[in-house]
Amino acid sequence: MTFTTQRLALRARTDDDLDDLLALWNNTQVQPMLHSHPFAPMGPKARKDIGEWLDGCVFGSIVTLCATDSESVSSATAPATANTITNANATSEETQKPKDKGGAFMGFLALSIQEPKNRDASVHIALLPQYWGGGYAKEALTFLVDHAFRWLGVHRVSLVVYGSNVRAIGLYERLGFVVEGRKREALWMDNKWEDSVSMGVLRREWAAKYWEDQS
């Protein structure tokens, strides 16, 4: 099964994706946004763990470019990582050509639920730096949040973002997320303390914003 948006294809991961996923985690611009563990190279064991983590999510997908959009990728500033945590200070001018997988590997998109009875899902997304700033993260997140509410019975969707990442916070607010809390100086990154900002959106808020019947 593959879901498609205007420019993206979201499909299940295969073992062929593990090298791409490990390379994504080892990208020096991406890894600090994916977790709060020490910033260090990740080896073969992590390759297996990443695949198992993605498989364990209630929704886990590889993000690729649709064929019609895989020939031209604009470079820009602004991050497309938002897992859990994002940073808006990196830039890249790289481009990537499509692979023989139905489109160029861009990254992953996932939804996890820690406690099913609470129906509170956490969104995870990470894209390669060459896809930052092109609107791909917004496109992917809009699909996933809508899918979570329509099909997965989720009551709310949550995420955490660096307090200094005002661009990402602005994106999430435009999507419908609201700031729910700020944990001051909770994250150490690049020789400074960062605030951890919690954001969330409820099903009824999403319905009022995007669904005509507001069901």
Q: Are the C-beta atoms of residues 107 and 131 closer than 8 Å to each other? A: yes
Q: Is 172 a catalytic residue?
A: yes
Structural domain contains residue 161: yes
- Can you name the residues that pair with 160 across neighbouring β-strands? 198
Helix (H/G/I), strand (E/B), else coil: 125: strand
Q: Does 99 reside within a domain?
A: yes
Q: Is residue 29 part of a domain?
A: yes
Question: Considering the domain boundaries, does residue 215 fall inside one?
Answer: no
CATH of the domain at 11: 3.40.630.30
Coil, helix or strand for 23? helix
Catalytic-role residue among 131, 136, 162, 172: 172
Q: Provide the residue count of the chain.
A: 215
pTM, two decimal places: 0.82
CA 150 to chain centre: 19
106 lies in which domain range? Answer: 2-210
**In this predicted structure, what is the pLDDT of residue 34?**
78
Q: What pLDDT does residue 31 have? A: 85
Give buried/exposed letters for 46-59 (b at 16+ CB in 10 A, else e): bbeebbebbeebeb
Q: Check: CB of residue 10 under 8 Å from CB of residue 17.
A: no
CA distance 102 to 68: 10
Residue 172 belongs to some domain of the structure: yes
Instruction: Tell whether 34 is covered by a domain.
Output: yes
pLDDT tens for each residue of the chain, 215 residues long: 899 999 999 999 999 999 999 999 998 888 887 777 778 888 888 999 999 999 999 999 999 998 766 544 443 333 444 444 333 333 333 334 434 345 899 999 999 998 999 999 999 999 999 999 999 999 999 999 999 999 999 999 999 999 998 989 999 999 999 999 999 999 998 999 999 999 999 999 999 999 986 65
Domain assignment present for residue 89? The answer is yes
Q: Confirm whether 80 is domain-assigned.
A: yes
In the prediction, which pLDDT does 68 show? 66
How many domains are there within the chain?
A: 1
